[in-house]
Amino acid sequence: MKKSACLRVLVLDVHARHSGFAVFEGPNQLVDWGMLHYGTGSNGTARPAGAQAAKVIARSQPERLVITMPANRTLAGNRLAAVAEAITGIAAQHHIPVRRLRRSQVLDDFGVRTRYAAAGQIAERFPSLGARLPRRRKIWQSEQPIMSVFDAAAAALAYYRRYSRLDRSADPLAA
Amino acid sequence: MPHSQLENYIATFRKQSGLTQQEAASLLGDRSGSELSLFESNRRVPTLRTAIGLEIIFSAPVADLFGGKRQRLERKIEARIERLHARLAKQQPAKGRPRIEREAKLRWLAARQAKRSPSRA
């Protein structure tokens, strides 16, 4: 990988049953991406969200963790909050500062109104992800889980625009 | 750059290429992608043959594929070279062949340092 002047950032787009993740070493350097699936109910003990997140954190060794998730007013709000808390706990164990970004902040940074529009920009910018861009869903269809990878990538770019301008001191979380 | 690079970037290059682990492993001449998975997750160190194979497949130097490993090795070797330099500089200037050899080593170290300095700037 080319040397970059930016922090390595892991972004998790948290959902109740899965999370999309993206690892960046600067706004132009997409290092890794993928999905975490965690079970609920009886499976929840076998594949807890925290353990899944711990694996990605161990593999990607991020210097910042950014969490983005749907608004809390959804039905799965409590579950989401628990998952986010578990992930934050794992990050704390690894001494990784955590920042939360709202989806509205991400969309504002992209200057678009929908997540699909932001995902389209991500797909253009990172052709390796572009092949996986899901078709825009109809109103009666469920969302493709892979969409959360695009949300995570969009949040990563929003993070760099907001907080990490090639200078660690620009990030108020920086030590 | 981030404080430390990742141990390896095999998964990055593979995902950028769009290849699955199975496909990349078959290009390396392996039957399954399980061994490649071990390399990607740092649970096994690839052989020289595999490392060169990965360089050929992804058209990326081994130093880029194994950025973190290279970074760590570089730090260790640079520290050893510093120690060698200090030892040579401290030695009493001997006479005859030992002196010529010592000066040749110091010249090589100075030339090496000069060659590396522009790339660091």
- pLDDT digit string (tens) for B84-107? 999 998 887 767 888 889 999 999
Same domain, B29 and B65: yes
pLDDT digits (tens, 9 = 90+) for B65-80: 999 999 999 999 999 9
For residue A32, which residues of chain B lie inside 8 Å, CB to CB? 11-12, 15
Assess if residue B35 is contained within a domain: yes
Domain residue limits, chain A: 8-166
pLDDT score of B56: 97
CATH classification of the domain holding B48: 1.10.260.40
Q: What's the token pair of residue A24?
A: 């960046």
Query: Which DSSP string corresponds to chain B?
Result: --SS--S--HHHHHHHHT--HHHHHHHHT-SSSHHHHHHHTTSSPPPHHHHHHHHHHHT--HHHHTHHHHHHHHHHHHHHHHHHHHHHHHS---SSHHHHHHHHHHHHHHHHHHHHHHHH-
Q: Which one, of A9, A138, A19, lies nearest residue A84 by Cα? A: A19
pTM for the whole thing?
A: 0.83
Do B27 and B49 lie in one domain? The reply is yes
pLDDT 10s digits, A27-66: 999 999 999 988 755 555 567 888 888 999 999 999 999 9
Task: Please tell me the distance from the alpha carbon of residue B66 to that of residue B38, in angstroms, as a whole number.
Answer: 14
Please tell me whether residues B65 and B34 are part of one structural domain.
yes
Residue B69 and residue B54 in contact, taking contact as beta carbons nearer than 8 Å: no
User: What digits encode the pLDDT tens for the residues B39-58?
Assistant: 999 899 999 999 999 999 99
Domain A8-166 has CATH 3.40.50.2000: no
| Chain B residues closer than 8 Å to A30 by CB | 12, 16
Which pLDDT does position A4 carry in this prediction?
55
Which amino acid, one-letter code, is at B107? R
Count the Cβ atoms, other than its own, within 10 Å of residue B63.
13
Residue A5 has pLDDT above 80, yes or no: no
Report CB contact under 8 Å: B12, A31: yes
What are A102's strand-pairing partners? A69
Q: Read off the tokens for B93.
A: 């200037």
Is residue B121 domain-resident?
A: no
In this structure, the answer to whether residues B22 and B56 fall within a common structural domain is: yes
pLDDT of residue B121: 43
- Check whether residue B63 and residue B32 sit in a common domain: yes
Give the strand pairing for A64-69 and A98-102: parallel
Summarize the confidence of residues A137-166 as an average pLDDT: 88
Residues B65 and B79 in one domain: no
Residues B31 and B47 in one domain: yes
Q: What is the ipTM of this complex?
A: 0.78
CB A47 within 8 A of CB A38: yes
Alpha-helical regions (H) of A39-172: 42-46, 49-60, 77-93, 103-110, 115-125, 127-130, 147-163
Domain carrying residue B97: 75-116
- Number of domains forming the structure of chain B: 2
For residues B62 and B24, membership in a common domain is answered with: yes
pLDDT above 70: percentage of residues in chain A: 83
Of residues B6, B15, B17, nearest to A60 (C-beta): B6
Residue B32: inside a domain: yes
DSSP state, residue A141? S
Distance CA A78, CA B69 (A): 42
Q: How far is B60 from chain A (nearest CA, A)?
A: 9
Residue of A nearest to B59 (CA): A1
**Do B60 and B83 belong to one domain?**
no
> Does some domain include residue B3?
no
B49 with B63, same domain?
Answer: yes
Q: Is the domain of B65 the same as that of B98?
A: no
Given this model, what pLDDT does residue A16 score? 82
Mark whether B99 and B83 lie in a shared domain: yes
* pLDDT for res A25: 93
Query: Do B55 and B10 touch, CB atoms closer than 8 A?
Result: no
Q: Residue B88: inside a domain, yes or no? A: yes
Contacts of B21 in chain A (CB under 8 A): none
pLDDT tens digits, one per residue of A68-121: 987 766 666 777 888 888 899 999 999 999 999 988 899 998 999 999 999 999
Q: Would B4 be classed as within a structural domain?
A: no
**Domain annotation covers residue B1:** no
